[in-house]
Amino acid sequence: MAKKRVGIIFGGKSAEHEVSLQSAKNIVDAIDTDKYEPVLIGIDKEGRWHLNDQSTYLLNEENPKLIQLNKSNDNIALIPGESDKQLIHAANAHQLAQLDVVFPIVHGTLGEDGSLQGMLRIANLPFVGPSVLSSSICMDKDIAKRLLTAAGIRVAKGLAFKRSQKSAIDFEKAAAELGTPMFIKPANQGSSVGVSKVSTKEEFDAGIAAAFQYDHKLIVEESLIGREIECAVLGNEDPQASQLGEVLPQTEFYSYESKYIDEKGADLAIPADLTEDEAKRLQEAAVAAFQALECEGLARVDFFLTEQGEIYVNEVNTLPGFTKISMYPKLWEISGVPYKELINRLIDMGIERHEQDNQLKSTVWED
């Protein structure tokens, strides 16, 4: 049987570019080359697409702080349509061999916010992970919190502000409603990029300014006191929850550096020390949140578990990190799905959904 050609798209213009490079490296190293032929497509910080060779696609690949995309001279472009000519060389329009499926691992803006997913849908290419709708919903923490609340799922109390409302953002009013400390977050970012924990007006003002550097909308949230529990969810129509993990930050909060650079920045208790009842309730809440936000394929659901046993959803990440210290693959490993098998399942689910999409009618009139 011929190997399936899997386009691994990574990098991107977002603040999580380097995280994406690390995730791609781990996927490329683990993918089953007996079944798949990986095709590496790196997106640089200017948005250009590069066809990369597996032996040279990264620079400083062992150093998360210095890792870089090794730009090739082989730029490619994508053409929408039903044909087998979606990918061409940008310089001479020469057709590339058809991809069977795409594994997008571009974290953050333009990667997991529905933008890339929409382009792949228009190009009629199967892809791993959630759809356009769920990707965009989950990327916007404000919208996701509204939908989770409507579904009866607890979330932290918060206030949302657009840039045009900046003059109305007041520390005293926010503190009176949410208490201190508070968290300030860009509404459309992940990996703790642009997040600040604040207690004073000076910190508050600096946090507002920092968040608006990354997005046109931010949220100010109450600080919940509780254990940070994470659950990996896998599936399309019948999603399954993994065992649970706990984040034990060694810093003020679980920052970008703690997640992806400093292996000592947080301890990960895998599996988490939970009672059977706690674990069951968290797994059920993870699946409920996954379905409420129309997720497909994969997502990592992050919780706070209070001393009173209350469960709050903090975030639903539709394209979680796949680095060597990332929680998502680690949780499935202890749940009986090794890294290589996890990749297999995700690819199969992407192809399955694409086949179902192509069965839908695209015209009202019959010939």
Which CATH number is 242's domain given?
3.30.470.20
pLDDT digit string, tens, across residues 58-110: 999 989 889 999 999 899 988 876 566 678 888 888 888 889 999 999 998 88
Confirm whether 133 is domain-assigned.
Answer: no
pLDDT of residue 42: 97
8 A C-beta contact, residue 123 and residue 136: no
Asked whether residue 215 falls in the same domain as residue 239, the answer is: no
Check pLDDT > 60 for residue 253.
no
Asked whether residue 218 falls in the same domain as residue 231, the answer is: no
Asked whether residue 169 falls in the same domain as residue 254, the answer is: no
Asked whether residue 236 falls in the same domain as residue 193, the answer is: no
Asked whether residue 323 falls in the same domain as residue 347, the answer is: yes
| Count of H-run helices and E-run strands, the chain | 10, 17
Asked whether residue 287 falls in the same domain as residue 235, the answer is: yes
CATH number at residue 90: 3.40.50.20
Q: Cis peptide leading into 80, omega within 30 of 0?
A: no
pLDDT digit string, tens, across residues 5-49: 999 999 999 888 999 999 999 999 999 999 999 999 999 999 999
Q: How confident is the model at residue 262 (pLDDT cuts 50, 70, 90)?
A: low
Asked whether residue 213 falls in the same domain as residue 242, the answer is: no
Asked whether residue 232 falls in the same domain as residue 351, the answer is: yes
Confirm whether 75 is domain-assigned.
Answer: yes
Quote the domain boundaries for residue 174. 157-222
CATH number at residue 180: 3.30.1490.20
* Spatial separation of the C-alpha atoms in residues 255 and 192, rounded to whole Å: 5
Check pLDDT > 70 for residue 52.
yes
* Spatial separation of the C-alpha atoms in residues 243 and 90, rounded to whole Å: 45
pLDDT digit string, tens, across residues 270-325: 999 999 999 999 999 999 999 999 999 999 999 999 999 999 999 999 999 998 78
How many structural domains does the chain have?
A: 3
* Spatial separation of the C-alpha atoms in residues 341 and 32, rounded to whole Å: 8
Q: What is the pTM of this model?
A: 0.91
pLDDT of residue 16: 87
8 A C-beta contact, residue 214 and residue 178: no
Average pLDDT, the chain: 92
Asked whether residue 208 falls in the same domain as residue 248, the answer is: no
Confirm whether 143 is domain-assigned.
Answer: no
Confirm whether 367 is domain-assigned.
Answer: no
Q: Cis peptide leading into 181, omega within 30 of 0?
A: yes
Check pLDDT > 80 for residue 364.
no
pLDDT of residue 43: 96
pLDDT digit string, tens, across residues 123-165: 889 999 999 999 999 999 999 999 999 999 999 999 999 999 9
pLDDT of residue 266: 72
Confirm whether 110 is domain-assigned.
Answer: yes
Asked whether residue 114 falls in the same domain as residue 18, the answer is: yes
Considering 170, 195, 222, which residue would you say is the last residue of a domain?
Answer: 222
Check pLDDT > 70 for residue 252.
no
Confirm whether 201 is domain-assigned.
Answer: yes
